[in-house]
Amino acid sequence: MSADQCDLTQAFQSPLTKKVFHIPVRIDPKTDKSFVLWKDIQDAFENAKCIRNGVSLVPFMIDENFEQIIPLRIAYQPGVVLEVVEGNGQVHSTTGELAILAGIPLVAGGEPGHHHNTIFGPHLTTIECTTTTTSPNTPTQTVDALTVTDINTTTIGDKNQEEVLQIQSTHQQTIDKNLEEMLRIQKKALDRLAIIQNSVQALLAQTYELHNYPIPRLFIVLPKDPGLRGKLMKPFSESYRLYFLCECGTHTMAEHSKTPPEIHLAKHEGYELNRPTEFFERYGSYILAL
């Protein structure tokens, strides 16, 4: 497709150098539309990637099928200075652009440990800059720093975990000790309760027996036939047996009973006195001789 060139130009500017270039505008003979060839822009800006109008991207022109027209072109925009966005070119160009963006003064010549780079561009003056090749933190140092940080973090985590486990162990030991003490106190209380219950039971039984089976206060001592064996073993000694007397009276007399109450021997077999002399010496003052 051929295009006629007119006297109009489109202004383009690089955001890095701020220098303005005027590129000729062409006219499509079929549509009479004015445009600028992308090839002409690349002749002025060899690293051109796209065109911007402020914050808006300037697209390539398309046909009725929404296909980009070949050769590539952009529409003419009169009275506007378009910005050329340049991509990463060679190393020396990138270094120069970074120096310009960072505001680093460009100096001629080089020093030891630096690279002396020269930037070339169409219609541009040769620029020399100095860049440092060694980074303050090399990748190896960065990896080592990250490794040390990870190790320190792991060490701190392990230490914290050990402290938590130690606290849990101490807490569990305290719980076990308190549980053992509680069980011991509970067993002691149950033992005391059993003793109290036994004592109360014995007291109740004794009270019941005293109420229902009172011990007689009166007794009588009668001589006992020692028998043939007793006479042979102790021919000069006498045998005695103690019998209790039932304290009957009007208070023990049954209702409608006509039998007068009399003191009589209690229904008890009594006790044999093995040492009658000691017995009479101790209880002699309480005995009435018949």
Residue 190: predicted pLDDT? 94
Q: Which of 52-56, 64-68, 111-115, 159-163 has the lowest mean pLDDT?
A: 111-115
Q: What is the DSSP string of 89-158?
A: -SHHHHHHHHHHHHTPPP-SS--TTEEEEEE--TT---EEEEEE-S-SS-HHHHHHHHHHHHHHHHHHHH
In this prediction, residues 105-125 reach a mean pLDDT of 43
For residues 94-113, give the mean pLDDT.
45
Interval 208-213 mean pLDDT: 64
**How many residues does the structure list for the chain?**
290
What is the strand order of the sheet 4-13 is part of? 56-58, 48-53, 81-86, 4-13, 20-27, 34-37, 73-75
pLDDT tens digits, one per residue of 123-166:
444 334 344 444 445 555 555 666 666 677 777 888 888 889 99
Confidence of residue 188 (pLDDT cuts 50, 70, 90): very high
Which pTM does this prediction carry?
0.31
